[in-house]
Amino acid sequence: MGGKSFFIALLLIIDFIGTLFIEMKLPKLYTLELVLILVGIIFGIIVLIGNSSKARWAPAMTVLFFGISLANSTLLFFIVPAVITFLGLVVVNCAGIIAGLVSEPQKEQEVPAQQFDSVPVETYSNANYTTPTVIAKKKR
């Protein structure tokens, strides 16, 4: 797991702990929030797998996950006014969005050089060239 993947995993763990902390203080709708947290855990595992394997879709999924989590944190803040936890979640989610937007430089793939001692291939530049017709010999 690279540095970026480890950082995203750490942000995911902090985000889930903060969300659970606010969820414990909910006066109502706590079962709905638990379902959202479970869906978030599954989505977070997909984000971790994508970032670990350096998939092309991983940065977009990371930004999407932390954006949805930021919206959920904001909604929870309006229900439960836990200011310090909310500010911590805002920082964590914004860091996750930035981590998803910052892409690692792609390594250029080396193309093997042409071998100069190989036999040259004959090419035909005549556009009217057709392949010769081969006539099979009859068996006796």
How large is the average pLDDT for residues 75-82?
89
Q: Does 84 score more than 70 pLDDT?
A: yes
* Cβ burial 44-67 (10 Å sphere, 16+ → b, else e): beebbebbbeeeeebbebbbebbe
Is 33 inside a domain boundary?
A: yes
Is 136 inside a domain boundary?
A: no
Q: Does 122 score more than 60 pLDDT?
A: yes
Rounded-to-integer distance, Cα 127 and Cα 6, Å: 58
Is 52 inside a domain boundary?
A: yes
Mean model confidence pLDDT for the chain: 82
Number of domains forming the structure of the chain: 1
Is 97 inside a domain boundary?
A: yes
Q: For residue 4, what pLDDT is reported?
A: 82
Burial of 80 (0-12, 13-18, 19+ CB in 10 A): middle
**CB-CB contact of 32 with 127 (8 Å):** no
Domain that holds residue 26: 3-101
Is 66 inside a domain boundary?
A: yes
Q: For residue 34, what pLDDT is reported?
A: 85
What pTM value is reported for the model? 0.70
Is 137 inside a domain boundary?
A: no
Rounded-to-integer distance, Cα 58 and Cα 63, Å: 9
